[in-house]
Structure 1
């Protein structure tokens, strides 16, 4: 039976969430595999599957622009690992003009080596998130 060392994926996930919480987007971007696949939920301008670190960086930059730099995300509990997949409960929020969003979610990361290879996001209130980000 082959076992996977789960300390490496956890360390990568913790570094990622620490960088996100600090809004250190240079570190965040450096953690993405060049061919990352990002599954953004909902039915809004950022929803869908984004492929490649440039596309994911563009999406995150767009979220920061729409939220006037207020978008924030932090892990709310210790990340959980199963092999190379890490799940983390998160809280995220943002404000723009007269709109605000704050909710919980779950981020699922697939780690390859020291890079994030694939991400699936889940929101506790998808309608509210869609309304905040705006139509596709």
Structure 2
């Protein structure tokens, strides 16, 4: 990471590094207490996850449902003074099925913290089928 990267690009990259390192406390330190994560579709992960407790429940659900197989790899980051957009590739196994897909997330930052995240998936039908109830 060079010194010319916007601060929100550095923060977005740091989020992925912390997840890769398994540092959940460090990750949560970068999330505002009243943050909202938006996930579209019709599945067990879809909806608006409001506040850190809801975001923690979402993370626990993903890990439990995938028996810890969920992995993500950051591909690209673009950012400005308020937002960052990340493109990542993720894989997971659940109920004997395996998924590999690209997503992009839009993060809104205030005071160096994530206040909102919108998740967009490459194939909503396949995403919903994988995360079906």
**Structure 1 length-normalised TM:** 0.88
Residue segments in structure 2 that go unaligned for 5+ positions in a row:
none
State whether residues 67 and 96 of structure 1, in contact with CA within 8 Å, keep that contact through their aligned partners in structure 2.
Answer: yes
- 1:44 partner SS: coil
In the alignment, what sits opposite 2:122? 124
State whether residues 108 and 116 of structure 2, in contact with CA within 8 Å, keep that contact through their aligned partners in structure 1.
Answer: yes
- 2:53 partner SS: helix
In the alignment, what sits opposite 2:57? 58
Please list every run of at least 4 consecutive aligned residues from structure 1 whose deviation after the TM superposition is greater than 3 angstroms: none
- Structure 2 residue aligned with 1:85, among 77, 83, 106? 83
Residue segments in structure 1 that go unaligned for 5+ positions in a row:
1-5
* RMSD after superposition: 1.4
In the alignment, what sits opposite 1:73? 72
- 1:57-108 Cα offsets, whole Å, 9 max, x none, are 101110110000011112112x101321000111111012411111001111
State whether residues 32 and 53 of structure 1, in contact with CA within 8 Å, keep that contact through their aligned partners in structure 2.
Answer: yes
How far apart, CA to CA, are the structure 1 residues paired with 2:35 and 2:20? 21
How far apart, CA to CA, are the structure 2 residues paired with 1:85 and 1:96? 32
Q: Offset of 1:129 from its aligned partner?
A: 1.3
